[in-house]
Amino acid sequence: MNRFNGMCGHTISDYQRLIEIPGTELAIGSLVEVSDSGVCGDVYGVIRWIGIPPGISKNVLVGIELEDEPSLKNIPLSDGSYNGLRFFTCHQGRAIFVTSDRCKTDRRFTDKDSYHVGNKITNNQEINFGAVACPSISGSVPPLRIHSSDELQKICGKFKGIQGHHNSCYLDATLFSMFTFTSVFDSILYRSPGPKDIRNYRDVQKVLRDEIVNPLRKQLFVRSDSVMKLRELLDQLSSVSGLTCEEKDPEEFLNSLLSQIMRVEPFLKLSSGQDSYFYQLFVDKDEKLTLPTVQQLFEQSFHSSNIKLKEVPSCFIIQMPRFGKSYKMYPRILPSQVLDVTDIIENSPRQCFLCGKLAEYECNECFGSLQVGQVSGLECTAFCQQCLVTFHMHAKRNNHVPTKICIPKDFRIMADHMVVPRVYMELFSVVCIETSHYVAFVKSGSGPDAPWCFFDSMADRKGEQNGYNIPEMTCVPELTQWLSDEGARSINETSPNDKVLPDHAKRIFCDAYMCLYQSTDTMMYH
C-alpha cells in the first residue's frame, strides 16, 4: 500500500509544491524511470508534479505521466488525480504517484553511442545523453551562420539538432526552424517581463533560452528532456492541452508559446483590424496550375480576401492550402525563395505595371486578366492615372471600379527622381509533414547562395519501447537549384510520378505544411 494513502479531507493547497526533488537533479519535466520492485520491470515517464503531503515533512511525493499504459501491480494508476485531488491531467491509466526514492534519471539518456559527421567519425567517438551532453547555457548565443555546403556538411550528421521524444516532432521542427540559423525570433529570448505578463514568464523564457536555444546554437544538440521542460510548462500555463504527449500541429505550439505565454506582438497586422502570427492560404483551386508557387497562391489568397497588411512584418509564417494531415489542394507546391509583398502592404508606394512610374490607382478587377512579360498577379493591378485611363478604354474593362492609392507625401515629392522600390522577404524554412510526422528544411544563412539542411528529430532510433530517438541534420546542396523556377520545372517534368522524385525533392514539393519568411530589413527592430 502506498505510504501516502488514507489521507483525506485535504485540498491541493495543503500540499507543499516543489520544483525539484531535493538533493537530486530531477525536476518537473525530467525524464525518469521508476522501479516496480521487480514485478514487471521499470517503467518510464516524465515528472509532472512534485510536492510534500500534509503532515509528512520528510517524504516527497512525485507525480509521473507514463510513456505507455503498463501492467503495474504495486503502483495504482490514475489520470493525474491522487487521493481525490487533481494535480495534473493525462489519459486514464497513464499517471502514477510514488515516493521520490523510487525515481531515478532515465537510463536511456545516459547511454553512449558513436556518431558520425559526414563520412568521418568525430574526435569525440562517444556522446553522452546524460546531463554532461546538454548543459544549460546562459547568456546570449548568436545563431549559426554557414556560408557553403562544405561548411554545412561538416556540422551535419546524427545526434544533431533537437532530440525527439513522445510525439514531439511538431515542436522540434518548429523550434529548429525558428532559432538555429536566424535571429528573427530572438526578442522572445530577451524581452523583460511587463505588468501584463504571466507570473511564470521568466521560467518559460529561461528554459527556452538557456536549455534549448543556446545549447542548440552552441553545440548543435538538445536532449529531449530539456525540451520536455518547455513542453511541461506550456501544457500547464496555456489552454492547449496534451503538449507533453499527444500529436499536435506547429500552429498549436506557436499559439501556446507566442500568444498565451510570451505575449509576443503579432507579426501580421491586417487592414481588417485583426492581428495574427501566421497566415493560412485560402484559394480556389486553379486546374491550370500544375506546380503553383507560394507567391501565386499568396497573391490569390490576399486578392480574394480583399485585405492588406498595415506594415511589413519581420516574419511571415504561411500555412499551405491543405486541411488536416492528408488532404492537399495541390499535389505539389513550389516554395518561393523570395516573397514579393509590395502589393499587399497598405499605402505602400507601388509602380505602374505599364510605364513604371509611381502608381496612383489600384484596380482589383484587373487581377489575373493578363500577363505582360514577367509581370502578373497583383502587380498588374497598379496604374498611374494616364495608364489607368488608356488601359480601361477596352470594352471588357471600362466598367471596372479602381480605387485611389494613398501615397506618403514625402515619397510623392521624390517619386520622379527614384525607382519605386519593391519589398521582398526571404524564405528561411519549410516545415513539412508526412503521415503525422513533421520535419524541416532550414536555410543555414541569409542570401541566395546560403546552403540548406534537412532536419528530422526522429531520423533513427536505438532500442524499441525503452529506446531513444536519434535526431539528424543532412546537408541538401541540390535544394537551391530545385527551388529555382528552372530547376523546379525540370525536376517536375522529368519526375511526374511522386515515387521517382528524389526523397528530399518529394518532401519539399509534396509535403510542405508551413513556409517561414523573414525580412532582413525589419527583423532587427522587432
Residue 108 is placed in which grid cell?
536511456
What values do phi and psi take at 413, rounded to 5?
Answer: -65, -35
Q: Are residues 57 and 176 in the same domain?
A: no
Q: How far apart are CA 333 and CA 172, in angstroms?
A: 23
Give me the pLDDT at residue 121, please: 30
Beta bridge partners of residue 7, listed in sequence order: none
Query: Residue holding cell 485611389?
Result: 404
Give me the pLDDT at residue 119, please: 33
Per the domain annotation, does 216 fall within a domain? Answer: yes
Helix/strand/coil for 479: helix
Choose the catalytic residue: 90, 103, 134, 169: 169
Give me the pLDDT at residue 11, please: 84
Q: How far apart are CA 55 and CA 38, in angstroms?
A: 30
Query: Residue holding cell 514577367?
Result: 374
Give me the pLDDT at residue 69, please: 66
Q: Are residues 94 and 156 in the same domain?
A: no
Q: Which structural domain, as residue segments, surrounds residue 390?
A: 349-415
Q: Are residues 305 and 365 in the same domain?
A: no
Q: Are residues 170 and 267 in the same domain?
A: yes
Helix/strand/coil for 294: helix
Per the domain annotation, does 6 fall within a domain? Answer: no
Q: How far apart are CA 240 and CA 255, in angstroms?
A: 8
Domain finish residue from 368, 391, 415: 415
Choose the catalytic residue: 166, 392, 437, 504: 437
Helix/strand/coil for 128: strand
Per the domain annotation, does 459 fall within a domain? Answer: yes
Number of residues assigned to the chain = 526
Q: Are residues 323 and 431 in the same domain?
A: yes
Tell which residue, 142, 141, 147, 140, has the closest CA to residue 446: 147
**40 counts as catalytic:** no
Q: Are residues 158 and 276 in the same domain?
A: yes
Query: Could you tell me where the DSSP H helices lie in 161-308?
Result: 169-179, 187-190, 201-206, 214-219, 224-237, 250-254, 294-305
Q: How far apart are CA 162 and CA 180, in angstroms?
A: 10
Residue 128 is placed in which grid cell?
553522452
Q: Are residues 146 and 291 in the same domain?
A: yes
Global pTM value: 0.78
Q: Are residues 71 and 186 in the same domain?
A: no
Tell which residue, 273, 268, 234, has the closest CA to residue 253: 234
Q: Are residues 180 and 239 in the same domain?
A: yes
Which uninterrupted H or E stretch holds 387? helix 385-391
Per the domain annotation, does 188 fall within a domain? Answer: yes
Tell which residue, 470, 486, 425, 477, has the closest CA to residue 451: 477
Q: How far apart are CA 136 and CA 46, in angstroms?
A: 19
Per the domain annotation, does 509 fall within a domain? Answer: yes
User: Exposed e or buried b for every residue in 248-284, given b needs 16+ CB within 10 A?
Assistant: bbbbbbbbbbbbebbebeebbbbeeeeeebbbebebe
Give me the pLDDT at residue 129, please: 44
Residue 104 is placed in which grid cell?
531515478
* Residue 522 amino acid letter: T
Q: Are residues 405 and 443 in the same domain?
A: no
Q: How far apart are CA 423 and CA 379, in angstroms?
A: 12
**437 counts as catalytic:** yes
CATH code at 58? 2.30.30.190
* Blockwise average pLDDT, block size 10, the chain, 526 residues: 51 84 84 68 82 81 82 77 87 88 78 36 34 75 94 94 93 98 96 93 96 96 92 90 89 95 95 93 88 94 92 95 76 95 90 89 84 70 93 90 85 72 94 93 92 95 73 96 93 89 94 94 48
Domain count, the chain: 3
Per the domain annotation, does 128 fall within a domain? Answer: no
Q: Are residues 489 and 459 in the same domain?
A: yes
CATH code at 310? 3.90.70.10
Domain finish residue from 80, 105, 130: 105
Per the domain annotation, does 150 fall within a domain? Answer: yes
Domain finish residue from 365, 389, 415: 415
Give me the pLDDT at residue 113, please: 40
Q: Are residues 406 and 429 in the same domain?
A: no
